[in-house]
Each structure stands twice: as C-alpha cells, then as structure tokens.
Structure 1
Amino acid sequence: MQPAHLSDTAFADLPLHPSLQLGLQKLGYTNCTPIQALTLPRALNGEDLAGQAQTGTGKSAAFLLAAMNHLLNTPRAEGADVNQPRAIMLAPTRELAIQIFKDAEQLGSETGLRMSVVYGGTGYDAQRTSITNGLDILIGTPGRLIDYFKQDIFNLKQIAVLVLDEADRMFDLGFIADIRYLIRKMPAPAARKNYLFSATLSHRVLELAYEHMNNPTKVEVEPDQVTAERVRQTLVHVANDDKQRLLIGLLRHHDPLRTLVFVNMKRDAEQVENTLKANGFEAATLSGDVAQNKRERLLQDFKDGKLPVLVATDVAARGLHIPAVSHVINYDLPQDAEDYVHRIGRTARAGTTGDAISFCCETYVYSLPDIERYIGMRIPVDHDASDLMEKENFVQGARPERRPPSGARRGGPGGGRPGAGRPGAGRGGPPRRR
C-alpha cells in the first residue's frame, strides 16, 4: 500500500527516457504524487498542460521530467547552435528559481543536459558566463532573463519547451508584460511544448494559458489529495498588544526547531525578530530587500536547523521546499486569501503533518471571512491558546528604526506627489508590502 501522499502510478510504468528512470531510481522515487500521475502521462503523450495542485505536491518534478524527456527524445535541428537554450522555465521569485534548478540537477543527473539558473540580486557575471558556456535548460526570473536577452547573451529561437511556474504569482508581482515579451520571441505555441503550473488557476491565468499555449489540458488535483489536508489548522483570537506575548508563549511550549512566522509588513517582521531575540530565541528576518547572498545563507541555516525561527514576509510563502517545517505561525492573517494557502503549505510537505497557527487580531480580523470562504471551511478556534501567553518573563524587543522611504524628497514622504505618503492611496485598501 502506497503512502497517502503518493498515487498507484509508478514512474517505471511511464515511457520516460532511460536516463531519467535511472535518476529517479538513484533518488529512491518509485511512485508519482497525484499531480504527477495526472499530468505526466498527458505530457509524455504530447499535450500542453495547465496544472493546478497545492504547494508541496510535486509540481516541479512533473514539469521537469516532462521537459527533459522531450529534449532527450527530440534532437536539435541540423546545424543549430548547440549553445542556445532549448527549454526555458520562468519563476516569479529568486528562491523558487533556485529550487527548480536544484530539483532539475537531481532529476537530470544522468541525462547530460546542461542547465543554468539566473536571478537578480547577485552573481551577475557568473550567471552570464554560465549561459555563454552553453546550455540546454535555462531557469530564471523574468527581469534577469530579459536583461541578458537584450544583450544578446542568448536567444530563444530554439525553445522547444516553455514552463511557467506559479503563474498567478507572476500577475501579483507585475511580471506578465515581461513574460509576454519573452514568449513573443519564441517559436509559435504549436512548435513547442508548454507547461503552466500553479497552486491556483484563476481566470486571468487560464486566459494567459489559452493565449500562449497550444490548446492546453487543464488538470486539477482534487481537494482531498492536497497537502493542506495534513495541516492541523488553528485560529487564536488575540489583541494587537498581546500578539508578541502569545508568540513567545507558544514557542516556549513547543520545540521551535524549524518554525516559520509570517507577517505582512517588513517593519513588523523586524520588531518580531527583535522580540524573539530578546526572549532567548535565535531568529532572523527574510524579506524582499534582504541581499541575495544573505537570503541564501539564512535559508540554508534554517534548513540545517541552525536557525530555529525564521520571520518572513510573503516573499517566502511560495516555492520554497524546506523539509521538516513543524510549525507555521501566521502572526498576521494575510490580506490575500490565496497567500494563506501558500503560507501553511510550507509545512506538511511530502506526506508529513504539521501545524499552522493563525493569530486573529483587531487589525487583520477582516481578512478571516475571505480566507475561510476560499479554503471552504471554518478554521478551528483554539480557546485555550491564550493561556500560553508569556506574562512574567516577557521582554519587549527594541523597535526598528524608522527609515525614510527611498527617493523621498524634502517636505515629506512622496516628495509632494498627491497621496504618495498615504498608506493604500489609490489602491482601495490597506497597503500590502512584501
């Protein structure tokens, strides 16, 4: 009998290239996850795919195996430049691009396919050299890819496989114009294989799929098969002023070997980090403006267990495969219901179980109805959790120093632009900062 997170479909029964089968055997992978079982046979049969499954269910292995199999079974055209990429894989964040590359190296270890990953923030010359040395598969974030493309470091004339991962996040981060720019430089949809994967397939994502893909098959994993079902979700109602005390109390009552604490605002993340340290917990903050080298070091320390608590904004909510995350704590309820699913998906990965504890405070209580409507259930309320609140031994951490907004001019935030200094100005609601 297979583990609950695996299907009865064996990789050995699929018409995968022998080198891929060998790589899977060396990794000890025998059976597909549900999303892999639904998508791989179709992809190996030549279909384009728009696949939806929750995070942590093996989407990246599905499109990597399909893409590599196509490249291995379809040689380059006669006289084609052997140094140009034949597959391109786009990811919305640096962390996700790096994770896809690591998965690709493992799955393709026996194939001889050359791969590279490019992303902003670091390694500009080294990444450029990795492309000019020649490659088959190019993985990256849209901005850095376009940068190199416009310098003629590579071209897209031989692209035989296009992968868009976390396409809904591409919309959220404003990358769709960049993606369309790159797609227009590739061969026509019918001349390549196209795989779009995401945890959510909204109307706008499907519109993108049908516009730039060759009649894709929509594939969805049923709700009772997804990772979120193995997450123990609880909700704690707490006053704003008591959130830090509750966080410290909760951490004192469980082993915080690998705990992710999500907040909505970077400044609040720094405050939480300072309070954790003041109360004896090793912690660090991961947010969008942390230098790439430091981000990679923090993530590695977190994975290795050297850093027990990682405080993060939603930059860390998707695409990170961090094994054995025992607890996810939503210090702030997210303002986007989809982000709740992605946050709690950091735990209970690959068939394990985990806990997701969400603080419901005065500021973000208004997000709760949308979240519960989106996930189709009421989050169980833990009425006893408030008894864990740290009272006697609590130490308030230092507040982070306020920094003027970048580019601010004299005379106030925004340099005189109408409404520039008002939170949420022109956006119909409170600000969402990553």
Structure 2
Amino acid sequence: MSTHLTDQRFDQYKLPDSLLQGLNQAGFQQCTPIQADSLPISLGGEDVAGEAQTGTGKTIAFLVAVYNKLLTEQPPEHRKPNQPRALILAPTRELAIQIHKDALLIGKNTGLKLALIYGGTDYEKQQQSITDGVDILIGTPGRLIDFFKKHVYNLKMVQSLVLDEADRMFDLGFINDIRYLIRRCPEPQHRLSMLFSATLSFRVQELAYDLMNAPKHIKIKSENRTADKIEERVYYPANDEKIRLLIGLILKEQPTRSIVFVNTKRVAENINAWLTGNDMPPAILSGDVPQKKRQSLLKKFQDGESTILVATDVAARGLHIPEVSHVFNFDLPQMAEDYVHRIGRTARAGASGTAISFACEDYAHYLPEIEEYIKHSIPNEGVSSELLVELKPRAKVERYGGNNKHGHRPGNRSGNRNQQGNRHHNRNHSKHKSHNSHQSKKATSDN
C-alpha cells in the first residue's frame, strides 16, 4: 500500500483560516488518497465509512472534518462546558494519545478545547479536564463509560462522532461499550459520523449501518496489503538461535530505530536481559507496564534516547513514531492481520523500511497464513554463521509490569537458556489462539 500524496491540496477546500493555518504550520499541504477521497464527503456533511491501512493519513482526514464542523457551525443552544461537541473513540491508549497529539498540532489556532481520557493513570486530572470545559473528547471506551456513569459529562450535544480502527474494537471486545456510548449521542441524522477500519468486514459494515446515517463507503485500493516501500525478509532459525540472530542482524543492519515484536511479556523480558547484557539496552512495552512508565519509555524512544523498542502487540497499532527503519518479528504473529499492523510501524508517510521475521520452530506454521493474507511470498534468507554472533552474558534487569511490587529480578535461573521462556510458553500449540486473545484483552483491560 502506498502512502503517496495526491494533487489535491488542503487549501483547495473552504476550510476555516485557523484550521488551514494549523495544517500549514504542521507541514500538511497535499492530501493522501484517503484524505482526498473522504474530505469532499465529510466536509459536505455526509457520513463516511473508510477502509484504509495504518499510516495512510486517516487521522488527519477525520480531524479536519471534525474541526471544520465545529468551527463552521454554532454550538447547540444551552450547551454546558462539560458537554463535548465531538467524540473520538479509539481502541488503545497509544492510539488515543496519538490522535490527541495530532489534534493539538493542527488545531492549536482554533481555540477549541480538547480532553484526553484513557485508563491506567491520572484519574482526577482527566476528570478535571472535562469539568473545566471540553469541545473535543478523545478517549478509550472503559474510562469514558466510567466518567459517563458518574455524570462527569454527557453526550447530548455531540455534533460529530469518530470511531477509529473499528475492527480492532471488535478484536478487543469493546463493541458493546462502543454501542453504549454512541447510543447516548444524538440520533445519526443529527450528527456527522465517521468510521475508519483496516477492513470493512461484514461486522464493521453492520455497525456502520446501525450507528450511522447512510454512510458513504471509501476503500483505498492497493495490490498489496503491506506498504510498497517495505523490504520484507524471513529467516528460519532454531529456537536457541533466535537471540544470537537478532543481535547479529542489529549489528549488521545498524538500524536507526527499530521495534522488536514478540508474542508474550516473558519473551520480551528475556530479550531485554540479552540486549542489555550486549550493550543494546532497549525500551520494553507490554500490556502491564504502568501507564506513566509506558509514556516515559515511548518518549525516550521517540526522542532517540533508546533506539530499540521491544513490544507485544499492544504497540502494533496507534503508534506513530517517525524514522523507524526496521521492524523485527522475533515471534511471528498468530494472526495474519497483526503482521500487517506490526510492519506498518516502518515505511510511514512515504518513507522506506525493512521488516525481518523469524519463522522459528514454534511459530513457522503461521507463515503460510500470513503470506496468503498479504498476497505474496516473503523472500527467505539463510541463517549464516556470520549472523549468529557470540553473546555476552545476560544482564540482570528490572522486570517490567505490575507484578514486580517487591523489586524482584529474574536472576540467572534461566540465564543460560536463551529461549526457555519461549519453549515453555509454546509447548501446546492448540492453546496459542485462545492465549493470544486473553493476552490482547488483558493488555487493554484498563482502557
């Protein structure tokens, strides 16, 4: 999928000056295909259901439409400060934070007030941001419902509604929460609604027709599900070769910034110990990393203080980090769609990138499903002796996550067994999918 720019420019639309100024200052002049296709519809007041992969510019597409709606129409009569005029729903904290960041960027001259709501931290601070007055409410379902039921705000004055990554809402089990919130908004014909999804599956289309006003469907077609500028490779290491191969490839490729994806927190901690011991200390992102720690390490990664991020699939969507040159699938994902979302962290906004996957003893059987989904074979490379570097010992590192209340360290019980965590976790292949589903829901349970 290409993220090329079209000939359509934002200044060709009759946008409010304050919004156009923010777009120009942020460097947005030309539209991507999803923006060029959706904006004529949404700016004309019609609902949009858009199918587009990550990294295509859909966030700016719906933010421009929301800002335009709120800036060109009067607020409803008798509206109170804690009654938002727009509601933007996201499945994960990371995506909500990114949407809020982009909204601040292009809307800084509009005078509209934003509030960002998600679980895990800052309960009273977030509540106060609503009671102080909010025009655009951005957040994840769990805490939004919590505040709603406590009458911190209501949705009676919503003029615009956005549901981002609708397919992910289903995957994470949030769809009943979404219906609960949307049905507290004005009727579909009395608001502008936009839904975006990586796939407009039957269940997503059903949701669109149920909760929207005859939405116009938009699909950004591409021959490939993956970005055109991603170089993909797959290696076939034995389980006990994976760490040595990862470090060997990092030394050879010299990535400017890389994300290493794994399927479990335990494997992430194992990689952390090996990389740290070999003078490559990474940042670790998994579902139970406390929120303040999560934001701190993401900032270090974005600022370049850490050049390697080891992550479970909680990070596969919603992260827009520029200049990620390499993605490593240390564990192949157990769902083909997740492969696309993972490697979509590189080659964003027209840049190029490299995606390297390990088809090991435990996960190689997922490769055919992945290749069928992306509609092409991934070129394979040999595991040469030069890439299997000799390692320094594992480091003793602090464990991430909420279970480390007493400061326990992993120690050396498994220090000389590179992939014991991986072997132990994957003894029973039949449990993969149910365990993966449990991990996903657990990872986002405080949203």
Alignment RMSD (CA, Å) = 2.5
Number of the residue aligned with 1:431:
435
CA contact (8 A) 1:271 1:398 kept: no
Q: 1:405 to 1:41 in 2, by over 3 A?
A: same
- After TM superposition, give the deviation of residue 129 of structure 1 in Å: 0.4
| In the alignment, structure 1 residue 392 sits paired with structure 2 residue 368 | no
Alignment correspondent of 2:244: 245
Secondary structure of the equivalent of 2:228?
helix
In 2, Cα distance between equivalents of 1:104 and 1:233: 33
Task: Indicate the residue corresponding to 1:89 in structure 2.
Answer: 88
Distance 1:428 1:98 in 2: 30
- The equivalent of 1:131 in structure 2 is 130
Q: 1:19 aligns to what SS in structure 2?
A: helix
Q: Gaps (5+ residues) in structure 1?
A: 407-420
* Aligned position for 2:413: none
Distance 2:426 2:378 in 1: 33
State the distance in 1 between where 2:395 and 2:177 align.
41
Q: Distance in 1 between matches of 2:39 and 2:153?
A: 29
Question: Which residue in the other structure is 2:284 paired with?
Answer: 285
What CA deviation, in whole Å up to 9, does each residue of 1:17-44 have, x standing for no partner?
Answer: 2221111122222100111111111111
Cα pair distance change 1:34/1:424, threshold 3 Å = farther
Deviation (angstroms), 1:392: 3.0
| SS of aligned partner of 1:197 | strand
Aligned counterpart, 2:320 = 321
**1:271–1:399 contact (8 Å) kept in structure 2:** no
Q: Does the 8 Å CA contact 2:244/2:387 hold for their aligned counterparts?
A: yes
C-alpha change, 1:225 and 1:23, in structure 2 (3 Å) is: farther
1:104-123 alpha-carbon deviations (Å, 9 max, x no partner):
01111111111110111111
Paired with 1:212 and 1:274, the residues of 2 have a C-alpha distance of: 48
CA, structure 1 residues 231+403, in 2 after alignment: closer, same or farther (shift >3 Å)? closer
Are 1:48 and 1:217, in contact at CA under 8 Å, matched by a contact in 2? yes
The C-alpha deviation readout for 1:206-252, integer Å capped at 9, x for no partner, is 11111111111111112159871111111111111111110010011
Question: Any conservation in 2 of the 1:332–1:360 contact (CA below 8 Å)?
Answer: yes
Q: Which residue of 1 aligns with 2:116?
A: 117
Going from structure 1 to structure 2, the CA distance change for 1:422 and 1:262 (only over 3 Å counts) comes to: closer
- 1:245 to 1:84, Cα distance in 2 relative to 1, 3 A: same
* Greater displacement, 392-401 / 325-334: 392-401
> Secondary structure at 2:380's aligned position in 1?
coil
Amino acid at match of 1:431: H
Query: Are the structure 2 counterparts of residues 162 and 423 from structure 1 closer, same or farther at C-alpha, using a change threshold of 3 Å?
Result: farther
2:295 corresponding residue in structure 1: 296
Q: Percent identity?
A: 54
CA contact (8 A) 2:81 2:131 kept: no
- Normalised by the length of structure 2, the TM-score is 0.88
Q: How far apart in 2 are the matches of 1:178 and 1:430?
A: 22
Stretch moving more, 361-370 or 351-360: 361-370
CA distance change for structure 1 residues 404 and 110 in 2, over 3 Å: closer, same or farther?
closer
Q: Pick which of 256-265 and 394-403 moved more.
A: 394-403
Displacement after TM superposition at 1:278 (Å)? 1.1
| Aligned partners of 2:81 and 2:132 also within 8 Å | no
Q: How many residues align?
A: 417
Given that residues 165 and 196 in structure 1 are in contact (C-alpha distance below 8 angstroms), is that contact kept between their aligned partners in structure 2? yes
* Distance in structure 2 (CA, Å) of the matches to 1:298 and 1:393: 25
Q: CA deviation at 1:82?
A: 4.2
Give per-residue Cα distances to partners, 1:326-349, cap 9 Å, x unaligned.
100000010011110000000011
Residues 275, 281 of structure 2: 8 Å contact kept: yes
Q: Distance in 2 between matches of 1:316 and 1:172?
A: 15
Instruction: Please list, as runs of the form range in 1=range in 2, the aligned pairs for 1:139-154 lying within 5 A after superposition.
Output: 139-154=138-153
Which whole-Å CA distance do the structure 2 matches of 1:299 and 1:271 have between them? 20
**What is aligned with 2:375?**
376
Give me the whole-angstrom Cα distance separating, in 2, the residues matched to 1:356 and 1:428.
23
What SS does structure 1 have at the residue aligned with 2:34? helix
Within 5 Å, which residues of 2 pair with 1:158-177? Answer: 158-177=157-176
Q: Residue 80 of structure 1 aligns with which residue?
A: 79
1:412 is matched with none
Structure 2 Cα separation of the partners of residues 30 and 248 of structure 1: 40
What's the offset of the Cα at 1:77?
2.4
Decide whether aligned partners of structure 1 residues 10 and 226 sit closer, same or farther in structure 2, where only a CA change above 3 A counts: farther
Match for 2:166: what amino acid?
A
* Counterpart amino acid of residue 183 in structure 1: I
Look up the match of 1:344. 343
Would you say the 8 A contact 1:271–1:397 is kept in 2?
A: no
Q: Which residue of 2 aligns with 1:416?
A: none
Query: What are structure 2's unaligned runs of at least 5 residues?
Result: 405-424, 441-447
Tell me which residue corresponds to 2:52: 53
Distance 1:422 1:249 in 2: 24
Equivalent residue of 1:127, what SS?
helix
